[in-house]
Amino acid sequence: MGQGPDEVKKQYDMLAKEYGDAFAGEHEKKPMDREVLRRFSREIGKGRPVWDLGCGPGQTAKYLKDLGVEISGMDLSEKMLDEAVTRCPGIPFRKGNLLDLEFENDSVAGVVSFYAIIHFKKEQVETAFREVFRVLRPGGLFLLAFHAGERTIHVETFLGKKTDLHVTFFTTDFVARCLEKTGFAGIEVIERAPYPGVEYPSRRAYVFAAKPLP
Ligand SMILES: C[S@@+](CC[C@H](N)C(=O)[O-])C[C@H]1O[C@@H](n2cnc3c(N)ncnc32)[C@H](O)[C@@H]1O
């Protein structure tokens, strides 16, 4: 299952305000999010260009900026980007599609992408990984977060609104194999149980991967 970018964009345009209100401070309640983002920022260092792809209202970009990362954000939904601009002063945001990135080859030091692949089919996940690999500099770092498992749920209401969103959970094996097939190395998977009362009760996965040096 998976939805086309136009349909996903329409859904997030409609949800943007509520999503921003609900998720703006989420990392404060999620210790593992903070741990992986701090590690990412240490490994990237300062003054090197990093993109948050599928940034939503910008909470992850903001967390990384506060750690000193030179971060920019990109999303499909203009309304999500409006939220991000308002909530995250000083961070550049632009519209774009993770399946067809408008960046030069080998131009980006790091990519972070939290829960942006959840509306993709498996083939689209492969396309997104190929795009991230293409734009990363050799030695560049990719940090991905997603719902771990093997099912697709149809979300008919979310944040008090009627929605039509298909959310796909991927196994960590599938994601790791896909990254490896794309050419990534140093693949490291971290999986955790959901934080009760804080988030949707799904297992969460974070994956670090690097584009190898020649
Ligand atoms: C579940 S939200 C995650 C937002 C944010 N990263 C977070 O962790 O809360 C999914 C986001 O990915 C964006 N998105 C979905 N498909 C995309 C695509 N093909 N290209 C860029 N952004 C996309 C949506 O517009 C939405 O803002």
Query: Residue 27 has what pLDDT?
Result: 97
Among 32, 98, 129, say which to mutate for ligand 1: greatest number of ligand atoms within 8 Å of CB: 98
Ligand 1 and 84: CB distance under 6 A:
no
Ligand 1 and 55: CB distance under 6 A:
yes
214 CA distance to ligand 1 middle (Å) = 31
Mean pLDDT, the chain cut into blocks of 10 residues (214 residues total): 84 97 96 98 95 98 97 98 97 98 98 97 97 98 98 95 96 98 98 97 98 95
Query: Residue 3 has what pLDDT?
Result: 75
Query: Residue 1 has what pLDDT?
Result: 54
Query: Residue 102 has what pLDDT?
Result: 97
Residue pair 74/92 in contact by the 8 Å Cβ criterion: no
Index of the ligand 1 atom closest to the CA of residue 116: 12
Closest-CA residue, ligand 1 atom 4, reads: 56
Cα–Cα distances in Å, from 124 out to 136, 178, 183? 18, 11, 16
Q: Which residues contact 151 (CB under 8 A, 6 or more apart)?
A: 168, 169
| Full DSSP string of 79-116 | HHHHHHHHHSTT--EEE-BTTB--S-TT-EEEEEEES-
Q: Is the pTM of this model over 0.95?
A: yes
Ligand 1 and 97: CB distance under 6 A:
yes
Query: Residue 2 has what pLDDT?
Result: 59
Among 77, 82, 204, say which to mutate for ligand 1: greatest number of ligand atoms within 8 Å of CB: 77
Beta strands in the chain (DSSP E): 49-53, 70-75, 93-95, 108-114, 136-148, 151-158, 161-169, 185-192, 203-210
Domains defined for the chain, CATH in brackets? 5-210 (3.40.50.150)
Closest-CA residue, ligand 1 atom 1, reads: 115
